[in-house]
A = this chain, B = another copy of it.
Amino acid sequence: MVKVIVRAFSISLDGYGAGPEQSLENPLGVGGRGLHEWLFPTRTFQRILGKDAGTSGVDDEFAARSFENVGAWILGRNMFGPIRGPWPDEHWKGWWGDNPPYHVPVFVLTHHARPPLQMEGGTTFHFVTDGIQSALERARAAANGKDVRVGGGVATLQQFFRAGLIDECHIAISPVLLGAGEPLFADMNLVALGYRCTQHVCSPAATHVVLTRQG
């Protein structure tokens, strides 16, 4: 059975999944980089950068697990880029350069249609204009029996949580305050939606929790 998962989604102590004022200069919003300090030094992340180095341990285990058995991704549009409204042209191809770190089909939620975009290394961006259920159907079909990973951001996760579509969600709580941004848990009752915390492990850099939908 294809699972719908969230992995390595980082939030601040005050619950923000991204800083305010995302822009080309601040893809993660102002201060948002601090959310991911647990991830950057890991062996898994350093390998993505092409380096044969990095830390092992709890943080790396969660980083590695986040890429295991992922057959397709779903991203909110802001995770794909800083452009809002209609696409001015087809110049913007994501934050990640010619060879994005996905290597599978990626379904980008947007209100503005655009032809699929084939990148190097197996990543193809598909632009889905008819909502999360449609994106999920297409992602499931493309995932080839593997899991569908919903990458974020907060608005996208909230839509999926509210529809009861997330099976399992790993969150890394980083020891930083952001003060403002997008609050992951606002106006969303995860208990009523059937979730509980099924794993809780800490490193000096983050608290890792797994939320699982019961029944």
Query: Residues of A at under 8 Å CB distance from B?
Result: 13-15, 31, 171, 173, 175-180, 183, 185-186, 189-193, 195-197, 200, 202-204, 207, 209, 211
Contacts and interface: CB of A to CB of B under 8 A. Distances in A.
29 contacts: A13-B171, A13-B185, A13-B197, A13-B209, A13-B211, A14-B15, A14-B185, A14-B190, A15-B15, A15-B183, A15-B185, A31-B191, A173-B173, A173-B207, A177-B190, A177-B191, A177-B195, A177-B196, A177-B197, A177-B211, A178-B191, A179-B189, A179-B190, A179-B191, A180-B189, A180-B192, A186-B186, A200-B204, A207-B207
Nearest to A202: B202
Contacts of A183: 15, 185-186
A184 B183 CA distance: 12
A129 B116 CA distance: 64
Q: How many copies does the complex hold?
A: 2
A125 to B, nearest CB: 32
A13 B173 CA distance: 9
A173 B209 CA distance: 11
A195 B207 CA distance: 20
A90 B77 CA distance: 59
B175 A200 contact: yes
Contacts of A189: 179-180
Nearest to A200: B175
Contacts of A196: 176-177
A176 to B, nearest CB: 6
Given A207-B173, A209-B13, A191 B185 contact: no
